[in-house]
Amino acid sequence: MFLEGPLDVAAYLDRIGLKPAAMGAPDLATLSALHLAHASHIPFENIDVLLGRQIRLDVPSLEAKLVRDRRGGYCFEQNTLFAAALEAMGFAVTGLAARVRVGSAQILPRTHMLLRVDLEVEPWIADVGFGRFGLLQPIPLLADVETTQWSWQFRLRKNAQSWVLQARQSEGWEDQYEFTLEPQQPVDYDPPNHFCATHPQSRFLRVLTVQLPTPEARKMVRNRDFTIRSAAGETTRPIGEDELLPLLEREFGLFFPPGTKLPVPSAAQ
């Protein structure tokens, strides 16, 4: 469904730090290895949105940006590329859509993309493109099964017509997003992608966000603040005017030519 043409699987695996010889059959072990490697190597970021560039979701464009140019992207870019790579390796993948719930009491539009991956025994939820407290590895599509992924815990809650991904925080379980199992076609993501990239109410136009989760820590740039969260706690410090580009290179592997001016909002909204 997502893979409409050739994909350089070897180049993709190199981008996420894996070797083709290490990949096995399309099973849970391979899916978990791919998920962790992708999530921890390709940053979640919205820099092109702030630069006013078109966000393209065709696989050749995503391969050029995220693989060859070693950039990151947001959910539609990340999970479309991941879905294409999984399909190229023999996995059965279905696209899903979600309403983000974290940080809002309102009912928001379905502006998040995630994946269902059907293995022989049971279906799993995969998502390498959610900021904040996104998954490092897939989780089974089962209600109320708590999954520990290093220092973070997740679970799915089942409502009458939908599912909710939750992440455990110090004060309890926090809703991340709500989704249904209605299959989405690649074309279904074009309207929400356009909204996220261009609508004045889109948060991606108002907040610079760069994030990268690893088993050890979650690193995040939010406008002029740099945060590291780990099992030991959370630290945040301001980013100086001349420090942003070196920090993006050092902490996230994102390279921009010297003198590049990123349109960073003055304060998070």
Question: Residue 107 to residues 77, 78, 127, 215: CA-CA distances in angstroms?
Answer: 24, 24, 21, 32
> Any bridge partners for residue 155, and if so which?
166
Among 48, 112, 190, 194, the one annotated catalytic: 112
Residue 22 per-residue DSSP state: G
Return the residue matching tokens 């022989």: 120
The question of whether 127 is a catalytic residue gets the answer: yes
Selecting among 35, 41, 48, 127, the annotated active-site residue is: 127
Q: What residues contact residue 49 under an 8 Å CB cut-off, 6+ apart?
A: 55, 74, 196, 197, 202, 204, 205
What is the per-residue DSSP string for 185-235? Answer: -GGGGHHHHHHHHH-TT-GGGT--EEEEE-SSEEEEEETTEEEEEETTEEE
Query: Is residue 239 within 8 Å of 224, Cβ to Cβ?
Result: yes
Query: Catalytic site residue 75?
Result: yes
**SS3 label, residue 44:** strand
Of the listed 75, 118, 144, 194, which one is catalytic? 75
Q: Are 66 and 73 in contact (CB under 8 A)?
A: yes
Residues forming the active site: 75, 112, 127
